[in-house]
Chain A
Amino acid sequence: MTEYQQEQFPIPTPGRLRRELRLRKPPWWMVAGLIVVIIGTWIPLYLIYKKRNSYSTQPKIHYIQDMDLQPGFRAQQPSTLFDDGRAARAPIAGTVARGHLKQDDHYYRGYHTVRKGAAEMIEFFDSVPGRVKVDNKLLARGRERYDIFCVVCHDSNGAGSGLLHQRALTLKETKWVPPTNLLTQEIRDRPAGQIFQAIGDGVRNMPGYKTQISVEDRWAIVAYLKQLQASQPVASVEKKTKTAK
């Protein structure tokens, strides 16, 4: 045994103190290990910090599956069963769901075909159908829908220089056809049914909005458009050349 351990009250000479202190220290590898562990604990924290402050292209990992992913299909989900890759199926051609016959030409199409002698003619209805009650609520709805679907091209006053039109001009798109000015006398004279039909099926270079706007909303837009035209001065009839600038 070392000498100093036998002594009960050793006199603390500098040499003894030094030895004493050295021996109170744990061995270096333990100290080093501790430092490594302490630094190591920051690594997961740093990784979490990084994950929280960056974007990832990897989907989340479902650590606990529960019933997160069920075999049933939800809207717009893909399916490998069918050729077109869709899980949703269209109704079989030639069938009509109950209550969806859409016989009311005025309401659903805005025109009907009439026989004049041998020829079949298309005749537009010149009014909003009776099923649609034109009141402030409908006009407000029409305005809202117009702002959603038409403003990009026709602008909020209907004159036809919406943001998309301006963009197309700056891009110098050769295929771009300027949107019709809806305030001209020509368009004002259009029967309501024709405008309804134009919104649904499109006209020439204007796309149809059948899939995006419901029938009620299309009539609401027609009613609002009539009101908008009444509130704006008649635009001079500029013969628009049908080519883009």
Chain B
Amino acid sequence: MSTDSTTGSASARFLFPRWANYLVPGLVILAIGILTYVPLVTWLFISPETTDVGYQPEQPVAFSHKLHAGDLKLDCRYCHSTVESTSYAAIPDSKTCMNCHASIKSDAESLRLVKESFSTGKPISWLKIHDQPDFVFFDHSAHVNHGIGCVTCHGRVDQMEVVRQEKSLSMAWCLECHRDPTPHLRPRSEITNMDWAATQINKTQAEIAKELLEEYQIHNSAFLTNCTTCHR
């Protein structure tokens, strides 16, 4: 640009170089770009799909659902025994583990903490993976007893070596189902069945949902999407 400035004459004026003609359209394009890019990236960045999903902490004991729930076919309720009766799905005490581990792998190093906890009464500090904000009211029994299976909200836990959060658990996610739970309903007896499908009993999901909506007397979406249902 310095080459463009005049040499000598006092009437030295600044002349825009000719590429400056692109400047205005260029800036308009840039502004549009920034105005779409920044909100897009912010939205993607803070969306629970990015921040919450995939949380898979390392637990104090290398407990494997794949082995216990998958290979041994233990029912979820053997350990999470309060899931049908209370809002909270209890993490089992070490007595539950000792039911089997008193005689199986009783000397394994990986189970040292469990045995210690069993004999001293000090609980194992498992890390909480699915963690709803404290201002949200969530109730397992309401869902499990009305035909929503574990797999719908937790994914294939029986195939996970280490549990991770599969779903965002955001308000939008809850509401999506509360507006219309029909695609997710199943008979109460299949709640913990991880690969249940309506086709297994030769019916379509729509038929089953219609029966179950009636049988379980599931509230209408006006009730289920009311703020006080989940914020009380």
Interface residues of A (CB under 8 A from B): 1, 20, 23-27, 41, 44-45, 48, 51-52, 54-61, 63, 66-70, 72, 74-76, 78, 84-86, 144, 147-149, 151-152, 163-164, 167-168, 171, 173, 175-177, 205, 207, 209, 211-214
Contacts and interface: CB of A to CB of B under 8 A. Distances in A.
A56 B129 CA distance: 11
The CB with the most chain A CB atoms within 10 A, among B21, B55, B86, is that of B55
A179 B55 CA distance: 39
A205 B100 CA distance: 10
A168 B73 contact: no
B98 A152 contact: no
5 contacts: A55-B164, A59-B57, A60-B51, A176-B103, A205-B103
Contact of B50 (A48, A163, A205, A209): A48
Contact of A74 (B48, B105, B134): B134
Contact of B88 (A44, A58, A68, A74): A74
Interface in B48-93: 48-58, 71-75, 77-78, 81, 85-88, 90-91, 93
B91 A56 contact: no
Contacts of B102: 175, 207
B104 A23 contact: no
B183 interface: no
Contacts of A176: 103-104
Contacts, number: 134
A23 B78 contact: no
Nearest to B136: A68
Contacts of B53: 52
B133 interface: yes
B125 A163 contact: no
Given A144-B189, A175-B106, A205-B103, A60 B52 contact: yes
A89 B105 CA distance: 32
Given A61-B51, A76-B88, A84-B123, A147 B75 contact: yes
B55 A212 contact: no
Given A69-B134, A163-B71, A175-B106, 5 more contacts: A20-B18, A54-B54, A59-B55, A173-B104, A173-B105
A56 B134 contact: no
Given A67-B133, A76-B90, A207 B22 contact: no
A85 B125 contact: yes
A212 B88 contact: no
Contacts of A144: 189
A52 B57 contact: no
Contacts of B135: 66-68, 70
A164 B102 CA distance: 13
B54 A167 contact: no
B223 interface: no
B42 to A, nearest CB: 9
B41 A85 contact: no
Contact of A148 (B77, B90, B93, B134): B77
B66 to A, nearest CB: 14
Contacts of A214: 85
A158 B78 CA distance: 18
Given A44-B45, A60-B55, A51 B50 contact: yes
Contacts of B105: 171, 173
Contacts of A68: 133-135
Contacts of B90: 75-76
B187 to A, nearest CB: 12
A42 to B, nearest CB: 10
B14 interface: no
Contact of A164 (B50, B100, B131): B100
A72 B88 contact: no
B74 A152 contact: yes
Interface in B26-48: 37, 41, 44-46, 48
